[in-house]
Amino acid sequence: MKVEYDLVIIGGGPAGLAVALEARRNTVKDILLLERDKYLGGILPQCIHNGFGLQYFKEELTGPEYAERFIAKLNDNRIDVKTETMVIKITPDKRIIAINRDDGLLHIQAKAVVLAMGCRERTREAIAIPGNRPAGIFTAGTAQRYINIEGYMPGREVVVLGSGDIGMIMARRMTLEGARVKAVLEIMPFSTGLIRNRVQCLDDFNIPLKFNHTITRIEGEKRVERVTVAQVDKNLQAIPGTEEEMSCDTILLSVGLIPENELTGEMGIKLDPVTRGPIVNENRETEIEGVFACGNVLHVHDLADFVSEEGEIVGRAVGECLKRNRKFRYQPIKIVPGENIAYVVPQHIDFIVPGRKKIKIFMRVKKPAERVRINLLDDKGRVLGSYKKRIVTPGEMVSVYLPEVLLDDKLKNITISVKRN
Amino acid sequence: MEQNKIICVSCPIGCRMTIRSKDGKITSIIGNACPKGIKYAEEEFINPLRILPTTVKVIGGELPLVSVKTEKAIPKRLLLKAMTKIAEIEVKAPVKIGQVIKDDLMGTGVSLIATRNIKKADSNLYS
C-alpha cells in the first residue's frame, strides 16, 4: 500500500470530512483519512435528531443526513479512506503509526497532518459522585449510541445530570422510547445547552429542569436504585438540609466534553489549559508547522455546522502550506482573553494574507450577560473593534471579526473583553 | 381568560413570553424582544408542530435499526402516539437515505423517511 501522502487526516467525523473535501478543492493531491470506527461520520450517525445544517446548508437535517452529504462527496473524490484504523502515534516529523486488521502495523509519512479526533464525554469519575458503583450509570452519548444505533434501551426511570445539549436531547429520546425522565439537574444557575433544546426536549414533555442542583450520592446494589439530590450554593457546594431522594434505575451524565488530545500531547504540542486543545494560529495550525487541528479536538463547538466551517479553514490552509505560498508577519499577534472571556480561538495571528479583509475570532464567555459590547483592545488600550451583543452565554459560542487593516507590524497583543453596554 | 407561558426559540435570547387568550383566541402577547417572538408565539399557541426523529427496526441489515424522521413537522400532541405506531414498523435491508418507510403517518399526510443508508448483511455488526 501507499505509505507517503501529502495530507493525512486523523478522524472521519464532521471536522475530518470537511478538511478532506476542502483540501481536495485546494489542489492537495494525495489525501488519506483514518477513522477508528467502522463508519465515517464520527458522532453524527447516532445524533438522529434534527437541527443540523441550518447554518451550513441553510436547511434542517438530522445528524446522519448531515454526515451523508459529506460522505457522498468523499466517494466521488477518490480520497483514500481507512476505517477501523487506530492511530497510535504521530511523530513531530509527521510520521504516523497506525494499526488495523487488514494492514497490521502501518507507517505513513505525511507532508501535512490534520488532527480531527474530536472529543469524549466526562464520566462519573471525572466529577467524583460518592456512593456505590452499580450498573445503570451512562454518559448521555453512550446511551444515545445504545438506543439509536445498537437498539438497546438503557433503562426505565431516569435522572439526567447536566443540562448540556446531549443531556436534554437524551431526556427527550428516552421519554419518546417510553422511559420516565424524572428530572434534569444542572449545578449552574443557567443551562449550558441551546435554548431550542430546552424548549423542545424538556418543556415539550414537562420534564423538570432544576438549576443549582446536583447528585450528591448514588445508591444501588447491582443496579442504580436511587440518588440523593441537593441544592448547591454559590460555590457549587451542596447545602445541608436540601437533600431529597429520587428513585431511578438509570443516570445519564451530560457533564462536559474533553478534547481527545493524547496523540497531540505526545507530539509535544502545547495545549491551551482552558480549551484543552492545541494552541493554534488563524489557520488552525499548531506550533509544529504543517500540523493542524480543527473541530472538537481544538475546542468544543455547539454545532456541527461550525465544525465544518473550521474544517474548511484548515482545508484551505493545508493547500497554502504545501504550496509554500505563505508570508509570516514581522511578529505574531497574540489574542488574549480579557474580562468575562473564557477562551479565544485562534490564540495568535501569524500570517500576512493579501486580499484578506477580516479574521473571524471565536470565543466563549465565562458568565451569561445581557446588553454588552465585545471590545478588542491593543496594548495601549485603544479600541480596535467593538461589537454590540444583545446577550452572551457560555452555552453559545460568540464570534467577532477582526479587521485586517488594523493589524500593523507593531501590534503584539489584542485583548478581548466583555463590557456592559 | 387563559394564560400560557412559553420561551421563544428563534434566537439565543430565549424571551420568556406570556400569551393571554380568551376562548382559544390570543388577546395579548408580552415579553418578546422582536417581531419573531410574536410569530413564534402565535404558531406555538395555535398549532405547535415538531419534526419527529426516531428509529425503525431493520430486517437483515448490517445494523439492527435505521434512523428515520417525519419528512415535515407534525402536530406536537401526536408525538407519543406516533411513537407507538412507528414501533410496529419493520423494514427490509437495504435501506436508502430518503426512502419512504411509511406514507401518510397517522393521517397527517406526512411521510416517515429514512435518514441514513443501511446495507444488507449476513449478520449484524453489533449483535
A 10 A CB-CB count for A357 gives: 9
Helix (H) or strand (E) segment spanning residue A143: helix A140-145
Q: Name which of A62, A195, A203 is nearest B53 (Cβ-Cβ).
A: A62
pLDDT at B125 over 60: no
State how far the Cα of B82 lies from the Cα of A132, in Å rounded to an integer: 38
Tell whether B20 is covered by a domain.
yes
- Sketch out chain A's domains with CATH numbers: 1-120+257-325 (3.50.50.60), 123-255 (3.50.50.60), 329-421 (2.60.40)
- Domain hosting B10: range is 2-46
CATH number at residue B78: 3.10.530.10
- For residues B68 and B98, state if they share a domain: yes
pLDDT at B123 over 70: no
- For residues B58 and B108, state if they share a domain: yes
Give the residue ranges of chain A where pLDDT is below 70. none
- For residues B65 and B34, state if they share a domain: no
Residue type, A323: K
- Check CB contact of A177 with chain B, cutoff 8 Å: yes
Shortest distance between the Cα of A121 and any Cα of chain B, in A, equals: 22
Q: Could you write out the DSSP letters of every residue in B30-91?
A: ES-SSHHHHHHHHHHHH--EE--EEEEEEESBSSSEEEEEESS-EEGGGHHHHHHHHTT-EE
Helices (H) and strands (E) in chain B, counts: 2, 10
Average of per-residue pLDDT values in chain B: 91
> How many Cα neighbours within 13 Å face the side chain of A83?
10
- For residues B16 and B63, state if they share a domain: no
Shortest distance between the Cα of B1 and any Cα of chain A, in A, equals: 22
- Check CB contact of B65 with chain A, cutoff 8 Å: yes
Three-state DSSP state, A64: helix
Helix residue ranges per DSSP H, A272-337? 304-322
State how far the Cα of A188 lies from the Cα of A167, in Å rounded to an integer: 14
Tell whether B126 is covered by a domain.
no
- Check CB contact of B115 with chain A, cutoff 8 Å: yes
Tell whether B21 is covered by a domain.
yes
- For residues B63 and B10, state if they share a domain: no
Structural domain tally of chain B?
A: 2
- For residues B82 and B104, state if they share a domain: yes
Cβ separation of B125 and A391 shorter than 8 Å? no
Chain A stretch 60-99, residues whose beta carbon is closer than 8 A to a beta carbon of chain B: 60, 62, 64-65, 68
Tell whether B86 is covered by a domain.
yes
- For residues B34 and B15, state if they share a domain: yes
* pLDDT for A408: 84
Cβ separation of A64 and B97 shorter than 8 Å? yes
* pLDDT for B83: 97
Tell whether B66 is covered by a domain.
yes
Q: What would the grid cell of residue A133 be?
A: 458503583
Of B16, B31, B46, the one marking the end of a domain is B46
- For residues B62 and B106, state if they share a domain: yes
- For residues B19 and B40, state if they share a domain: yes
State CA A196 to chain mean position distance: 19
Shortest distance between the Cα of B125 and any Cα of chain A, in A, equals: 9
Tell whether B79 is covered by a domain.
yes
Residue type, A132: N
- For residues B59 and B109, state if they share a domain: yes
State which residue of chain B sits closest to A394, comparing Cα positions: B12
Q: What is the value of ipTM here, to two decimals?
A: 0.89
pTM for this model (two decimals): 0.93
* pLDDT for A2: 86
Please state the rounded mean pLDDT for residues B62-82.
96
Q: Name which of B13, B115, B125 is nearest A48 (Cβ-Cβ).
A: B115
* pLDDT for A195: 84
Three-state DSSP state, A133: coil
State how far the Cα of A368 lies from the Cα of A420, in Å rounded to an integer: 12
* pLDDT for A407: 85
Tell whether B39 is covered by a domain.
yes
- For residues B63 and B91, state if they share a domain: yes
Q: What contacts A356, CB < 8 A, 6 or more positions away?
A: A404
Angle at A271 between CA A270 and CA A272, to 5 degrees: 125
Q: What would the grid cell of residue B120 be?
A: 444488507
Phi and psi, residue A142, nearest 5°: -65, -45
Contacts of A196 in chain B (CB under 8 A): 9
Phi and psi, residue A25, nearest 5°: -60, -25
> Which residues are paired to A376 by β-bridges?
A385, A416
DSSP state of B1: -
State which residue of chain A sits closest to B66, comparing Cα positions: A149
State how far the Cα of B89 lies from the Cα of B91, in Å rounded to an integer: 7
Of B14, B31, B46, the one marking the end of a domain is B46
Cβ separation of B7 and A199 shorter than 8 Å? yes
pLDDT at B124 over 60: no
Tell whether B81 is covered by a domain.
yes
* pLDDT for A354: 84
State how far the Cα of A34 lies from the Cα of A140, in Å rounded to an integer: 26
- For residues B105 and B62, state if they share a domain: yes
